[in-house]
Structure 1
Amino acid sequence: MAPESVYIHIPFCARKCHYCDFTAYVVGGQPVDEYLEALEREMARMVEEIPPGKIETIFIGGGTPTVLTPRQMERLLKDVRRYFPVWSDRLEFTVEANPGTTEPEKLAVMKERGVNRLSFGAQTFRPDLLSEIGRDHGVDEIADSVEAAREAGIDNVSLDLMFGLPQQSVADMEEALVRGLALGPDHFSVYSLKVEEGTVFHHKRLQGKLPLPSEDEELEMYLLTRRRLEEAGFLQYEVSNFSRPGRESRHNSTYWMNQPYYGLGAGAHGYAKGVRYENVRGVGEYIRLSRSRRPIAGTHRVSVAEMMENHFILGLRLMNGVSRRKFAELYGKPPENVFGSVLEDLQKQGLIRKEEGRYRLTERGLLFGNDVFAAFLGESA
C-alpha cells in the first residue's frame, strides 16, 4: 500500500533548544536554498520508486520550518504539491512553528498553498524559564502568533507544552495551562522533559547543574494537565495528546497506528513497503548524496514478529487501544496466541484492561506506560 502521509524535515532553527537532540542546526550560514533543491530531488526519486496515492496528511517539522523566508516556504510548498498532487478532501496539512516566526506574508503563503494546521512550540509561559531552556521567543509572542494564524485563515492550532523542566513548579504548569487555554487552541501536545545524551541539559546534569523537579512533582504536573484539559472539554486520545472533538492529529495517529508514511529530509525516518529507513543527518552529506541517489543512511526490513510488537507498543499509546479483531485480520491469529502471558500479566498488575474487544491502558497503565510497552519487546518470536 502506498503511504498516504508525508513527513518533511526542515533541520534549521534560529537557536537550538537546550533539551533538543533532533536533527537541527542553527540556520545562520546554512545552505538553505541548496537544501530545498536537495529535498526536491529526494521527492522526485521517492515518488518514482514508491508512487503516491491520495495523500491524507502532510506534516512539515523540524527544526523550525518557519525560519524559512516566505520565498523559500513558497518554493517548498509548491514542490510538495508537484510531487504529491492528489490530496484528500480531508487533508490535514500541518507546519510546525515557533512563536514569533510567522509574519503575515509567510502565513499568507502557507494558507494559499494548502496549509490548514499550525503547531506552535509554546513549551511554557514563564519568561525566565523560556530563556533557561533555550527558546528564542517571549510569552507575548505566543498569543500574537496564534492570533496572526487565525487572521490568516488557519484556524486549526495546536500548542506544545512541557513539564518537568528545570526549576519548574506545579504552579508554573497550572499557569501554562490556564494561559494556553485562554488562547482557544484546538489541540495540546504535553510532553515531559527527557534529558537526552549530547544536549546542553545532559552536560549540565553531568555537572550537577540541572535542578529538575522531583518525580512526585512531575507526576502531579501530568495529572494536573489531564484534569485541567478534561475540564476544558479536551479529550485525551493519546498518552501525551489532547484535542477538541474531531481535532486529533491525524498525521501523528499514522505513527501510532503503525501505518506507512513517506519521510523526507535530513535525519527523517520513513516506513514503506515493510521497510523502515532513516536518512543521513548532516545537511552537507544530505545535499551531496541527493545528487546521485536517495540520501538513506540505513534501512530495516520489519519482520512480522516486529510488526506485531509494534502494533501493541504503538497502539496502546492511544486511548482507544488495540482491537483484537483488527489484530487477527492483519496477522491471522488473535493477540492472545502471540502475547498471551504478557497480556495476562499486565492485566493482573492493573496496567491494561480488556473491554469491548479491545486492550487499553488503565489509569495506572498511563502512569507506567514505558513499562507496559517494554513488556512486548521480544515476546512475539
Structure 2
Amino acid sequence: MALLMKKSTCINQLGDALVFVLVYVDDILLIGNKSQQVTSIISQLSTTFALKTLVSVHYFLGFETTRRANGIYLSQTKYTIDLLKHTNMLHAKPCPTPINQSNSLHLQDSKPFEHITLYRSIIGALQYLTLSRPDIAFTVKKLNQFLQAPTQNHWQACKKILRYLAGTVGEGIKFTPAQNLSIESFCDSDWANSLDDHKSTSGYCVYLSGNLINWSSRKQKPVACSSTEVEYRALAQAYTEIIWLQSLLKEIGTAIPHQPSFGVTIQELDNWLPTLEKVSNKEVEVRYVPSSEQTADILTKSLSIASFHYLQSKLAVVPSPQHNLRGHIETEQSEQSEIAPRSIEAAQAEEAHE
C-alpha cells in the first residue's frame, strides 16, 4: 500500500486501486476507482472518528456536482445566489458580458469610491466564484488590482459582473468522458494593456482529454519590451502548469502517451528564455491559433458580445441541467450560506459608522 500526503490531500494506492482523500476542516471527500477500497477506508476512519457518510457527492465547499449520462457538471449555484442576495442584485437586469469592451479600467479613472470595505468584500467573494466560472476570471482579476483605492468606475464594473451573474445563475463547467488521455493548452497575452504601468496580461487554459481543468488570468510582473517577449512569458506560465500536471499524473501511475520529457524545473521558468530553448529544440510543440479561435483571449482582454460567448462555449461553461432559478429562490437556504445575506445599504451604513 502506498500512502502519499500532500497538505490536505491523501493518495491511497493498493495494487490497481487508487483513492484520493481530500480533507478540509471537518469535510472529507473520497474519490476512487474501486468502490471496495473506498468503503474500506470509510470503515477504517469510522473506527476513530464519528462520520456521517453522504454517499455520492452533490455539494462540497460551495461546489455542486450533477451527474448525467453525457458527463458531470460542476457549478456554484447556491454560492452565486447567496452573493446576489447579499448585494441585492438577484433581480437586477442581466447583461450579456461581465465587462464593457470600451471600459478601460485604470487608477483614478473617476471619483473615489467611498465604501472601500464593501468593494473589497465583493471582489473577494467573486474570486472564489472564478473557481467554476472562468468566464469572469479576467474581469475579477482586473478589478482586484484596485483594492487599495477603488473608484466609482471600478464599482460600476463590479456591479456589471453581478448583473452578468444574475443572468447566468447555475452555469458551470461540464466534464465529459474520454477514451484517450492527452494534454492541450491555450495561452495568450495582451501586450502593455495596463494604462498605469504598461504591464501585460497573460492567460492560459489547460485541457485534459478535452476537459478544462485549470486556467489563469494574471498581470505579468516585468514590463515586456516587445510583443514577442510577452507571448513567450505567457507560454512559460502555461508550460509550468503542464509540467506540474504531468508530474501529478506520473505520481498516481497515469502516463500521457506521446508527451515529450520537458526536463526543466519550475524555478527555471521564472525566466522565459528556457521555454524559448525548448521550443527551438522542438521539445514543446507550438501551433498557430487564429485570434478568433484563441480560447485564452477571454482571459486576457474584454471582448465583443459575439466573441465572448463563442469563446465561453469553448471553455464548456454551460447551464447545469439541475438548475431551476425560481426553485432556488423560493427555497431559503441562507442558514448554510457562505456569505451572510446583507444589503449593500446596510454594509455602507456599517462602514460609515466605523
TM, length-normalised to structure 2: 0.24
Q: Which has the higher contact order (CA 8 A, sep 6+)?
A: 2
TM, length-normalised to structure 1: 0.23
